A and B are shown apart, each in its own frame.
Chain A
Amino acid sequence: MASNIKSAFIAAVMAGVIIAPVYGLQIVRSGMETHIEPEWDLVLIGMGLVFVFQAFVRPGLARLLSLRSGTFRMPVLNDKARRGSIMLLIAIALIFPFFTGRAEVDIATLVLIYIMLGLGLNIVVGFAGLLDLGFVGFYAVGAYTYALLYHWAGWGFWEALPMAGLMAGIFGYLLGFPVLRLRGDYLAIVTLGFGEIIRLLLINLYEYTGGPDGISGIPKPTVFGMPMARRAPEGETTFHDFMGWQFNNMDVIIYLYLMALALALVTLLVSSRVIRMPVGRAWEALREDEIACRSLGLNPTNIKLSAFTMGAVFAGFGGAFFAARQGLVNPESFTFLESALILAIVVLGGMGSQVGVILAAIILTVLPEVAREFAEYRMMIFGLVMVLMMMWRPQGLLPMKRPHVELK
């Protein structure tokens, strides 16, 4: 108890030091003069609050948590029940947009984009254990591939989508080649640099990319070649004319949502299949012990490159879809903050855990939208959540459970 009081006292003093210049000294203007007016009572109240929390509330909270832990377990599902619940979730996701409003579907689409990016980065960070801080670079490559192909060659979304994946994959491969012999922190720094280089290139290649203005007027995906728009260009029929419907903007939004759902499901399917394949096993082995891998004849560079490239491909698909949905791309959308957010999704969810990544993508996208009134505190809350997570659950919300091959 005495040590509690002592540390609480120190914390209160520290709090006083920090808040005094911010709240304690108010700058008051009266006419021509400006003078500083101290408000010590405010500072003292703050210090008192910190003291009470540290001395009494926190130990109580810790006791409560230690009592609770160990009693709660995630229900263990067998294969059949798991498959059933996945099917149910997909079905809910499918019919969801038809019963909600426009804003909800919009947010859900955004969630799906982040799920896709999170699952893509999960391959690199979670499975192969390569810390990649420049993931957004490949997202940008995908988005700009579609934007540029549309702008300069008039390609549609469906033709550009595979190209976007391919281009991002090529970039992943080319950038991965020289850097993948680096490890841990060094790799993180170099990838961070690559992400920035791609963004700066997009800003500075003004003639091609439009620089900071970006490229606008990118068309939405068509439905079997029919545009989803109010009016079709010369010689084409719009989808709503073809179906004999009235044009409704909501249809477009639902269509985009369903497409994002399809892309996210493909990403989920492929990545959960790949981890059960020899390549996936090799990724995990490499994450554990590179030297042992080499001694068994596994080429570490190739194996790392395959993870890096595959992650980049999914980011590329996500980027192309992002460009189509937004109708506008500019380098502002591809800052380091975006990379950090995607990485936060992977870490928060639990590295390597796909369900965890999906859950974290939902939380980190929906929360800021719901709490729009607190927009100024967004980053603060974000930081707080991260700190708390690292303290209480460093392995993520739903830690990875490796799929085993069992021997009978």
Chain B
Amino acid sequence: MSKVLLEVSDLSMRFGGLLAVDSVAFEVRADEVFAIIGPNGAGKTTVFNCVGGFYKPTRGKITMDGKAIHGKPSHKVAREGLVRTFQNVRLFKNLTVLENLLVAQHQHINTNLLHGLLKTPSFRRSETEALHNAGQWLDFMEIREYANREAGNLAYGHQRRLEIARCMITRPRLLMLDEPAAGLNPQEKRGLQQLIDQLRREFGVAVLLIEHDMSLVMGVSDRIMVMEHGKPITTGVPEEVRSDPRVIKAYLGEE
């Protein structure tokens, strides 16, 4: 069993009188696909936002590779190697596809002002490298032909793939996908499943997934946590979760 990458314990998030997340605990191991499922309003995205640093959790601990990240601003969390996609795609719509990928490499390239103004060799090298990286990811996602188009003009499925590429180019250790299959057609969903598998195998990235599409979740996840009303009901491998009466009750209601 590989080591634990992300560890969340006793996580609670309160919005005024509403306890949206109530003592949630789970862990994601390196190179594992971990899914969070649950009915609408169960608090899945809130957990995501807490882990990603977009909310400051009311209570609880989140550690990444042993390092505490709760309460850190989101850009610092991202620099720990934890990046996410959004439920409704958030690309830089007026920038080209290529530029979306260049911006994402900001923390890795030479951003020194003087170097850039004088076009020093090291600056040129880092720019070429960034372009090269972007090109590789465009090939990987099979969207190279759209490289110079505005990202907002891409087909929805391509926008989703571009958003994942934009995350992957930051070289994360944990990729968080918030409903990546929403709005995709069945064929694109199968493609997404292959993609997640491939990302884990080839790039050794762990995946934390929120998804409603059960066939995708069951097909791709190693372990699943089910949430309802802000609380985790159960955590386990897909087979266990599928047959758990509490899960069936949460989704279908009592007979």
Contacts and interface: CB of A to CB of B under 8 A. Distances in A.
A407 B134 contact: yes
A270 B117 contact: yes
Nearest to B167: A296
Given A274-B116, A279-B116, A296 B103 contact: yes
Contacts of B144: 407
Interface string B48-83: 000011100000000000000000011110110001
A277 to B, nearest CB: 4
Interface string B113-142: 100110000000000000100110010000
A91 B106 CA distance: 38
Q: Interface of chain A, helix or strand or loop or mixed?
A: helix
A281 B127 CA distance: 12
A291 B54 contact: yes
Interface stretch (A230-238, A282-290, A388-396): A282-290
Interface in A296-347: 296-300, 306
Contact of A292 (B91, B94, B96): B91
A123 to B, nearest CB: 13
A294 B135 contact: no
Nearest to A277: B116
Nearest to B152: A288
A281 B99 CA distance: 8
A296 B106 contact: yes
A405 B52 CA distance: 31
Interface string B237-253: 00000000000000000
A284 B95 contact: yes
Nearest to B138: A407
A404 interface: yes
Interface string A251-293: 0000000000000000000100110011101101100110111
Contacts of B76: 297
A29 to B, nearest CB: 63
Contacts of B159: none
B19 interface: no
A299 to B, nearest CB: 5
Interface centre among A297, A298, A300, A306 (most CB of B within 10 A): A297
A295 B82 CA distance: 9
B111 interface: yes
Contact of A288 (B95, B107, B117): B95
B184 interface: no
B90 interface: yes
Contact of A281 (B103, B113, B135): B103
Contact of B52 (A281, A295, A406): A295
B90 A289 contact: yes
B166 interface: yes
B195 interface: no
A11 B90 CA distance: 46
A78 B124 CA distance: 24
Given A278-B106, A279-B116, A291-B54, A297 B94 contact: no
A298 B108 CA distance: 11
B84 A295 contact: yes
A289 B104 CA distance: 13
B194 interface: no
B90 A296 contact: no
A274 B54 CA distance: 30
B12 interface: no
Contact of A405 (B93, B116, B131): B131
A78 to B, nearest CB: 16
Nearest to A291: B90
Given A297-B75, A298-B107, A288 B94 contact: yes
Contacts of A298: 75, 103, 106-107
Contacts of B147: 406-407
A298 B84 CA distance: 13
B131 A295 contact: no
B96 A296 contact: no
A407 B86 contact: no
B26 interface: no
B78 A295 contact: yes
Contacts of A292: 86, 90-92
Nearest to B53: A294
B13 interface: no
Nearest to B132: A407
Name the residue in B76, B96, B111 with the highest tally of chain A Cβ atoms < 10 Å from its Cβ.
B111
Given A279-B111, A407-B138, A285 B103 contact: yes
Nearest to A289: B90
A294 B92 contact: no
Contacts of A296: 75, 78, 83, 103-104, 106, 166-167, 170
Given A282-B111, A295-B74, 14 more contacts: A270-B117, A277-B113, A278-B106, A278-B111, A279-B113, A284-B92, A288-B92, A292-B92, A295-B90, A296-B104, A298-B103, A405-B99, A405-B131, A406-B147
> Nearest 7 CB-CB pairs, A to B?
A297-B78, A277-B116, A292-B90, A407-B147, A294-B74, A285-B103, A288-B92
6 contacts: A273-B116, A282-B106, A288-B94, A295-B75, A295-B84, A405-B98
Interface of B: 52-54, 73-76, 78-79, 83-84, 86, 90-96, 98-100, 102-104, 106-107, 109-111, 113, 116-117, 131, 134-135, 138, 144, 147-148, 166-167, 170
